[in-house]
Amino acid sequence: MTPWNFFLSHRSEILHATLDHLTLVVIAMDIAIAIAVPLGMLIVQRPRLRAIALGLTSVFQTIPSLALFGFLIPIPFIGGIGRRTAIVALVLYALLPILRNTYVGLTGIDPAILEAAEAMGMTATQILLRVRLPLALSIILAGIRTATVITIGVATIAAAIGAGGLGTFIFRGVAMVSDAVILAGAIPAALLAIAADFLLGLLERRLKVI
Amino acid sequence: MNAKTAALLDIAIEFRSVTYCINDIPDRAIVSNVSLSISRGETVVLLGRSGSGKTTLLKLINRMLLPSQGQVSVEGRATTDCDPIRLRRGIGYVIQEAGLFPHFTIAQNVGLVPTLEKWDSGRIAARVEELLRLVGLDPLEFSARHPSELSGGQRQRVGVARALAADPPILLMDEPFGALDPVTRAELQREFSALASRLAKTIVFVTHDIREALLLGSRIGLLHAGHLVALAPPQDFLRLDHPEVHAFTASLAPSDGVAP
């Protein structure tokens, strides 16, 4: 069977898997942003916590993804088979790019601007919210963009622990030794990644302060 | 009121045997044993080479730094006893390259301290317009622009307007015209000199340019390696007999071979 024929005959199943895939990615990214951005703000003034946070998230990044999914299965509450475990793993992968870019964005600001802000009598919170954060926004978004593209790719492996998504076709195709079935998962995943990269890139340029 | 308190009230800023060391390590003094009284309404120019401690002295006034020894008082109160936020909102601050917020419009930059002080928006708008005119910028043309759309000289004017926004009695200026081309620099110096005498603020002005010091200062304090080595009005300053004064006055002499 040609890839095109397989695609046509399974289109509703593929669409379904794509939506599942997207749901996994969106949930994982929301959680990762909710953790990494505030953590990034917190570590600006705390060198000890900074070393721990950046070190730990770097370690998560080095664990091979299939192994990480495997490690999580026996862990109570966050582990097991299925979507929840997959989301935990995806969040762990997405943390580093967002955290690092948030930190770099918040600290890479022209010292003259920060000096002026302090000398004008802005409080530390006002400087963070009204000066550092707006100026760092495009760099933080660049981190979110990188993390999103990585997450879309890694999420294909989530099918190995029964979380569904486009990886289902890839694993099935590998088992059947069928390129057509593998491509039915791989092509939509690649298109998702390209689309996310493009759209977030547009947003990033819009938020950039000259 | 007796004579002593009257004299105290005339002093806006006072340094009493102030030493500042990095991390309070005694052999790394940036400023050593400086005593200096600055009267209300005068313009004191702190002159010195790079690293002489002049910017440090400025930052001790608005509590960006705290003295390692001695005491800095503003309006009769030690800076160590002041809330830094309140203190700084009452002191205007202008730095080289202006330090404007690139994501704010010119109007938002100038209106920053009034906004922090929660003035109502009508009053802020009126004040911003008044200040832009004061520094020679047309409010209609400039209010909505961003700093990146302005020339260096225009940005520096906005920096001065921002510092004056909440009408602070004291103005600190750290080489405000240092990054400008010579023509724009001379233009802003002349205008600022006129503005300063009109506003009657207490001004502490840091520079390494003796011409600027002679033009703007009612007194010039010369710093050398953290010590205040000379303090005199401009007309007397040139006659002082100190090697560092000579070094600076020598830079005033026209260089050989250049036609006047």
Nearest to B251 by CA among B204, B189, B209, B195: B209
In angstroms, what separates the C-alpha of B86 from chain A's closest C-alpha?
Answer: 7
Nearest to A14 by CA among A197, A149, A173: A173
Identify the pLDDT of residue B132.
95
Give B96's contacts in chain A (Cβ within 8 Å).
Answer: 112
Chain B: give the shortest CA distance to residue A106, in Å: 14
Range A101-125 average pLDDT? 94
CA distance A88 to A146: 18
Q: Which residues contact B258 (CB under 8 A, 6 or more apart)?
A: none
Burial class of B102 by CB neighbour count within 10 A (0 to 12, 13 to 18, 19+): middle
CB-based contact A121 B96, cutoff 8 Å = no
Instruction: For A25-69, write each residue's pLDDT tens digit.
Output: 999 999 999 999 999 999 998 999 999 999 999 999 899 988 888
Structure tokens at B123: 């009053």
Q: Round the average pLDDT of chain A to a whole number and report it.
A: 92
Q: Beta strand pairing status for B11-21 and B91-95?
A: unpaired
- Of B87, B116, B162, which is closest to A122 when you measure between CB atoms? B116
Best CA proximity match to B39, nearest among B219, B192, B172, B163: B219
Residue percentage of chain A with pLDDT more than 70 = 99
What six digits make up the tokens of B111?
């209106």
DSSP H helices, chain A, are 3-9, 11-43, 47-62, 65-72, 83-107, 111-119, 124-126, 133-154, 167-176, 179-207
What local confidence, expressed as pLDDT, does residue B116 receive? Answer: 94
Q: Is B33 left (phi over 0), alpha (psi -120 to 50) or beta?
A: left
Degrees, nearest 5: CA angle B199-B200-B204: 105
- B5 membership: H or E segment, kind and range: helix B3-9
Cβ atoms of A67 and A126 closer than 8 Å:
no
Strands B219-224 and B227-232: antiparallel
* Helix segments in B165-257, DSSP class H: 182-199, 210-216, 234-237, 243-250
Count CB pairs under 8 A between chains A and B.
58
Q: Which of residues 117-136 of A touch B (CB under 8 A)?
A: 117-123, 126, 131, 134-135
Q: What does the angle CA B77 – CA B81 – CA B82 come to, to the nearest 5 degrees? A: 80
Select the residue from A106, A109, A113, A120 to test the B interface by mutation, using most B Cβ atoms within 10 A: A120
pLDDT given at position A77: 78
**Continuous segment of H or E residues that includes residue B45:** strand B43-48
Per-residue pLDDT of chain B (260 residues; tens, 9 = 90+): 455 554 556 899 999 999 999 887 777 789 999 999 999 999 999 999 998 999 999 999 999 999 999 999 999 899 999 999 999 999 999 998 778 999 999 999 999 999 999 999 999 999 999 999 999 999 999 999 999 999 999 999 999 999 999 999 999 999 999 888 889 899 999 999 998 888 889 999 999 999 999 999 999 999 999 999 999 999 999 989 899 999 998 888 665 544 44
Task: Find tokens 């330090």 and name the residue.
Answer: B99
Q: Which of A113, A135, A210 sits opposite B99 (nearest CB)?
A: A113
B72, B79 contact by CB (below 8 A): yes
The pairing of beta strand B69-74 with beta strand B77-78: antiparallel
User: CB neighbours of A136 closer than 8 A, spacing ≥ 6?
Assistant: A102, A105, A106, A108, A109
Q: Which of B102, B113, B146 sits opposite A121 (nearest CB)?
A: B113
Contacts of A126 in chain B (CB under 8 A): 116
Cross-chain residue pair B96–A112, CB shorter than 8 Å: yes
Interface touch A115/B88, C-beta < 8 Å: no
Q: Are A150 and A94 in contact (CB under 8 A)?
A: yes
pLDDT of residue B8: 56
